[in-house]
Chain A
Amino acid sequence: LAKTTQPISMDSYEGQEVNITCSHNNIATNDYITWYQQFPSQGPRFIIQGYKTKVTNEVASLFIPADRKSSTLSLPRVSLSDTAVYYCLQRQSNYQLIWGAGTKLIIKP
């Protein structure tokens, strides 16, 4: 089963832009990249999904280069409430999601 690789943890400060990079060397042609956010004691929350190039919504941007072997989630002007675990996932052609351990993002004042 294809699994992504991302940093275990990251720190940043309020007001900064945070970029979390994910590696997915074995991504298949029909796979999409999906990002979720999870707060302690809560279920994950969908953030953004893309296939290639750039996708932007009201929460984040997702950059996927042409070779699709990596992707970067960009969170603009983070706040303390953005402290959470962020998961980068490959959505496979059978629509199943393969979850790794995620990136624990800590935002400091």
Chain B
Amino acid sequence: NAGVTQTPKFQVLKTGQSMTLQCAQDMNHNSMYWYRQDPGMGLRLIYYSASEGTTDKGEVPNGYNVSRLNKREFSLRLESAAPSQTSVYFCASTFDPGNYGYTFGSGTRLTVV
């Protein structure tokens, strides 16, 4: 099925460990985004990639890095996980943010202990 695929769906990390969240879309979308969602709150933008080859910081980029590997894939890396990074992470993509809505993945639930 066409859409945004995130892996893994669940992850538990110890403080200080590193990991990479993977995101891939098969809709030929140009723009991709990483959000985090904390309980009872809306989403907050971590990083985004307006087009292949570009990345920019969002509202809460500290502690994260991203890579736009190609047009399909956009990964999010936590170099040294902290308990404050416990959250649900969503990847999203859109063909044209000016004219189309975003398509979201099903999320990665990350717990840092």
Please report A residues at the B interface, Cβ cutoff 8 Å: 1, 34, 36, 41-47, 49, 87, 91, 95-97, 99-102
Contact call B41/A46, Cβ cutoff below 8 A: no
Give the shortest distance, in Å, between A109 (CB) and chain B (any CB): 26
Pick the residue among B45, B98, B104 that contacts A45 (CB under 8 A): B104
Pick the residue among A42, A91, A102 that contacts B42 (CB under 8 A): A102
Q: How many A-B residue pairs have CB under 8 A?
A: 49
Contact call A96/B41, Cβ cutoff below 8 A: no
Contact call B106/A46, Cβ cutoff below 8 A: no
A96 vs B34: C-alpha distance in the bound complex, in angstroms? 12
Interface residues on B, range: 20 to 34
Identify the closest chain B residue to A42 (Cβ): B106
Given contacts A43-B90, A46-B101, contact A99 B44 (CB under 8 A): yes
Q: Could you say which residues of chain B place their CB within 8 Å of the CB of A99? A: 35, 41-44
B40 contacts partner chain A, Cβ-Cβ < 8 Å: yes
Q: Could you say which residues of chain A place their CB within 8 Å of the CB of B44? A: 99
Contact call B104/A96, Cβ cutoff below 8 A: no
Give the shortest distance, in Å, between A60 (CB) and chain B (any CB): 12
Contact call B102/A46, Cβ cutoff below 8 A: yes
Give the shortest distance, in Å, between B62 (CB) and chain A (any CB): 17
Q: Could you say which residues of chain A place their CB within 8 Å of the CB of B50? A: 95
Task: Give B71-113 as 1s and 0s: 1 = Cβ < 8 Å from A's Cβ atoms.
Answer: 0000000000000000000101000011011111111000000
Contact call A44/B43, Cβ cutoff below 8 A: yes
Closest 3 CB pairs of A and B: A46-B101, A43-B104, A99-B42
Give the shortest distance, in Å, between B64 (CB) and chain A (any CB): 17
Q: Could you say which residues of chain B place their CB within 8 Å of the CB of A43? A: 4, 90, 92, 104-107
